[in-house]
Structure 1
Amino acid sequence: MTQDTLSEAEYDAITDAAAHWCMRLHAADCTDEERRAFQQWHDAHPLHAFEYEAMLEIWDVAGHLPRPETALVVPVAQPARPWRRYAIAAGVCALALPLTAYTGWHLGWLPNSYEHFAATDNVRQVTLSDGSQLELNLNTDLTFSNYKDERRVTLKKGEAFFTVSHDTSHPFVVRAGEGRIRVTGTRFNVWMYEDQVRVNLIAGSVLVSSNRQLPGDGLRLEPSMQARYKPGDYMPQISQTYPDDASLAWRSGKLVLDNLPLSEALPLINRYLEKPLMLADNSTGAIRVGGIYNIKELNNLANSLPKVLPVYLTRNKEGNPVINPMPQQPPKS
């Protein structure tokens, strides 16, 4: 069986099987025997793996569907091909909610469009189905879902520059970390590393919230302003940026460090590294570093640090390079 010769029934059977395994592997009573059976099915054909990965991504969306106390019963029609995964994932995740994709769209629970984009070794430019333009930095992963009441990007990791298609009736929302950025049409950059998020506004205006669970839309940014937040922040920290700000140099393949302490520089560096650099202690984090670096060559940076800074490298038990300050010479008597 090849992907080119699959009938519609065969394709649907694979989608159904992917939904079944997605449900079973997320179940608390999933057995080792079932996991082995899943692995055999997964490895039997490339399309099995493709459909299962697609189902996992939609599970992430559909898993947040509301569950009413009484199941909503609606006439179920056979969904068209673009809706099939959404309808199945919704039914699997909601369980007690027999929901078609058509109804899910009109209730604002399911998107009518879902896209996944990733950039690994190169900066990537993509166009979303709503016409918005994105530039993705290295090691970036995000999804786009088009809901009835909003367009939603979920930034899973990395950094992206957004030129959002203007639509005041259909807001554009970026979820990054625990917060969100809400716009109708504008140009801005979102950087995320581990639990830190930074938003730079270039044109238009955005509303930034550090916690999606809090009421309100957050703080408004105007052009040349930046917002930062991390988990636990009640509000983002707002600051002004300047014409010589180099935070968007990645769009030209560069990372610019402007005499930053290592404690601030490492989050900017580490997101490009296979093994993140660690600090031996707080005093090491106060050592300053500067320079302009090619983002594709930052894996070589660790070995070059002792040549330009008063530091030496060791490795911890996980194999991460650790930056240590050079011991100070005792004063001569």
Structure 2
Amino acid sequence: MTDTAKTPPDDPARRQADEALGQAIDWLMAEQAAATASERAQIQAARVQWLADDPLRGKAWRKAERVWRLSGEALPLIQPGVSVPMAETPPVVVAFPSPSVRKTPWRRRVGGLAAAACLALVVISGGWMPWGAEYRTGTGTMQQITLADGSQISLAAGSALDTALSADRRGVILREGQAFFQVAPDRQRPFVVSAGAMTITVTGTAFDVQREETETVVAVASGAVEVRIEGGETLSLKPGDRVRLTATGRAVQRDRVTAQELGLWRDGRLVVSNQPVVQVIETLRHHFHGLIVLQDADGKGQMLAGRAVTGVFDLRDPRTALETIARLHGGSVRQITPYVLVVSAADGKN
């Protein structure tokens, strides 16, 4: 007879531990399934970041590592100089899925990539979805949020934000991703959005904010917006204005955008104008249930990454979008499994 009172099926701590363990095992499978040393190195780098983001994952990793080694498929799992938080309890041996599900080494590796690829998709470019966020969306999903003051927020796929409404201020922290804000007018309570080094203040307007690893972008559909840059200037934006703050060098770039373009992502379309390939891929990864690896001909990801892209792409079909982008620059997209796509530049076309 089981004691469900001690460990209820929906216990959050138990569920988190189980999820972390499953993710750790999938990371091992993803590394083993890598086609080249370069791909394995990229997956390992993403996995190290995953480990660093939560001590619970270190415990899960050690359990998964022991099971992996007991199964006879040991790998050099920890890179030199990388430390994993020490477990508070001794490692526990857990069981792999039944042999009927895991018939061959190939089947084992591809099956495990399903969860691992979704996980790696978030961290491959250096970020991890903030689990403590008040609102967050998964891959390929969007959420509509109505705040207590009547303001509306459209939260894009792979995004996370927190809200804080008080008697004299309405605040939002965009932790990652993209959101479109339709702010209810209230001159007594400014609406303030924090996104990295940018602070956006309005009293009633519609605007879009995108926060990614490489840049933060603010664009105004209607009304007026004040953008304060940390340690820098304060900008006043009007309808059609867009400002970019790049992560490298914190350079500010201003241009114009139509109101129609701002709303297209909410209809499943991505509009880009003269943007680097790496930034477009960063957006598409939020819509692909798997891992996207940018691999240039020299193996360093620096040749295709900086090429400019202009076009309209279907966010519901990220693979076709990637193939179109790669083809424009003489590259290609290779599917390793249904969950891993490698975007490559062709030799001699750099």
- Normalising to structure 2: TM-score of the pair? 0.53
Partner of 1:32: 88
| Separation in 2, partners of 1:240, 1:206 | 14
Partner of 2:216: 197
Kindly state the Cα deviation for residue 311 of structure 1 after the two structures are TM-superposed: 1.0
Match for residue 252 of structure 1 among 253, 267, 282: 267
- Map Cα deviations across residues 186-235 of structure 1 (whole Å, 9 max, x no partner): 11001111241100011111111232xx387x211111101111347667
Instruction: Flag the structure with larger Rg.
Output: 1
Where 2:291 maps in the other structure, the secondary structure is coil
Partner of 2:46: none
CA RMSD across the alignment? 3.9
Go from structure 1 to structure 2 and tell me whether the alpha carbon gap of 1:235 and 1:308 turns closer, same or farther (over 3 Å shift). closer
| Separation in 1, partners of 2:189, 2:308 | 44
Partner of 2:281: 266
User: Within 5 A, what are the aligned runs for 1:88-167?
Assistant: 116-120=134-138, 121-167=140-186
Please tell me whether the aligned partners of residues 269 and 314 of structure 2 are also in contact (alpha carbons under 8 angstroms): yes
Kindly state the Cα deviation for residue 278 of structure 1 after the two structures are TM-superposed: 2.0
Identical-residue share of aligned pairs (%): 24
Partner of 1:53: none
Q: Does 1:323 align with 2:344?
A: yes
- Map Cα deviations across residues 168-189 of structure 1 (whole Å, 9 max, x no partner): 1211111112221111111100
Partner of 1:21: none
Kindly state the Cα deviation for residue 247 of structure 1 after the two structures are TM-superposed: 4.2
Partner of 1:225: 241
Q: Which runs of 5+ in 2 are unaligned?
A: 5-11, 13-54, 57-84, 93-130
| Separation in 1, partners of 2:174, 2:155 | 10
- Map Cα deviations across residues 239-274 of structure 1 (whole Å, 9 max, x no partner): 23346x634310111113456552453333334343
Partner AA of 2:135 in structure 1? F
Q: Which runs of 5+ in 1 are unaligned?
A: 3-13, 15-23, 37-55, 61-115
Partner AA of 2:242 in structure 1? Q
Kindly state the Cα deviation for residue 237 of structure 1 after the two structures are TM-superposed: 2.9
| Separation in 1, partners of 2:308, 2:232 | 39
Please tell me whether the aligned partners of residues 137 and 160 of structure 1 are also in contact (alpha carbons under 8 angstroms): yes
Q: Comparing both chains, which one has the higher relative contact order based on Cα–Cα distances under 8 Å and sequence gaps of 6 or more?
A: 2
| Separation in 2, partners of 1:164, 1:149 | 15
| Separation in 2, partners of 1:210, 1:314 | 40
Q: Does 1:293 align with 2:320?
A: no
- Map Cα deviations across residues 48-87 of structure 1 (whole Å, 9 max, x no partner): xxxxxxxx84xx8xxxxxxxxxxxxxxxxxxxxxxxxxxx
Where 2:318 maps in the other structure, the secondary structure is helix
Kindly state the Cα deviation for residue 308 of structure 1 after the two structures are TM-superposed: 5.2
Please tell me whether the aligned partners of residues 210 and 235 of structure 1 are also in contact (alpha carbons under 8 angstroms): no
Where 1:248 maps in the other structure, the secondary structure is helix
Please tell me whether the aligned partners of residues 272 and 299 of structure 1 are also in contact (alpha carbons under 8 angstroms): no
Kindly state the Cα deviation for residue 320 of structure 1 after the two structures are TM-superposed: 6.7
Where 1:159 maps in the other structure, the secondary structure is strand
| Separation in 1, partners of 2:274, 2:228 | 29
| Separation in 1, partners of 2:252, 2:221 | 18
Where 2:186 maps in the other structure, the secondary structure is coil
Where 1:139 maps in the other structure, the secondary structure is coil
Q: Does 1:312 align with 2:332?
A: yes
